[in-house]
Amino acid sequence: MYPQTFSVPHAVKQIIGSNILFFQALSTGIANYTALAQKIKPEVEKLTRSEVNINTLVVAIKRFADSLDEIEYEYHPVFDGVRMTLTGSIIDIDFQEADDVYGVLDEIFELGSGYNMFRTNNQ
């Protein structure tokens, strides 16, 4: 499936870098490193073609997160006043009533792809 083997840090960068949700959680500082390590462990083991210890993954994720702190990112005002909650693979996005919900969603979908959406209303 994978023509070459990767080191653990390189595999971690590859997997997190190709998953916008993981990358955003890590770059904003809201990721739980141990939970993320458990989530990506099977894929890291495929890329490295070896069994990987969770603690090794946590260290690789931490180092990758530290390297992201050195990079300056573009600010997106669309996220002002928007509350996002991550549960498993579901992102719950709460808006203020005055927000142009469809405009905000359009901008979010332009920033990333691969999302499915359904709407709920708070009562």
Q: What DSSP letter does each residue of 24-48 carry, written as one string?
A: HHHHHT---HHHHHHHHHHHHHHHH
pLDDT range class, residue 20, cuts 50, 70, 90: confident
Q: How many domains does the chain have?
A: 2
pLDDT range class, residue 2, cuts 50, 70, 90: very low
- Torsional sign, CA 16, 17, 22, 26: positive
Question: Using CA atoms, how far apart are residues 123 and 21, in angstroms rounded to an integer?
Answer: 28
Instruction: Mark whether 14 and 65 lie in a shared domain.
Output: yes
Instruction: Mark whether 39 and 82 lie in a shared domain.
Output: no
H helix runs in 4-119, sequence order: 8-17, 20-28, 33-48, 54-69, 101-111
Instruction: Mark whether 82 and 105 lie in a shared domain.
Output: yes
Between 115 and 13, whose confidence is greater?
A: 13
% of residues, the chain, pLDDT over 70? 59
DSSP state of 54: H
Burial letters 45-68, b for 16+ CB under 10 A, else e: eebbeeebeeebbbbbbeebbeee
Q: What is the mean pLDDT of residues 66-87?
A: 68
Question: Using CA atoms, how far apart are residues 17 and 20, in angstroms rounded to an integer?
Answer: 7
Is residue 117 domain-resident? no
Question: Which residues partner with 22 through β-bridges?
Answer: none
Domain of residue 86, residue span = 77-111
Is residue 3 domain-resident? no
Query: Given this model, what pLDDT does residue 44 score?
Result: 94
28 has a pLDDT exceeding 50 = yes
Instruction: Mark whether 96 and 64 lie in a shared domain.
Output: no
Question: Using CA atoms, how far apart are residues 49 and 46, in angstroms rounded to an integer?
Answer: 5
With 0.85 as the threshold, say if the pTM is over it.
no
118 has a pLDDT exceeding 80 = no
Is residue 56 domain-resident? yes
pLDDT tens sequence across 84-105: 676 666 767 776 665 566 676 6
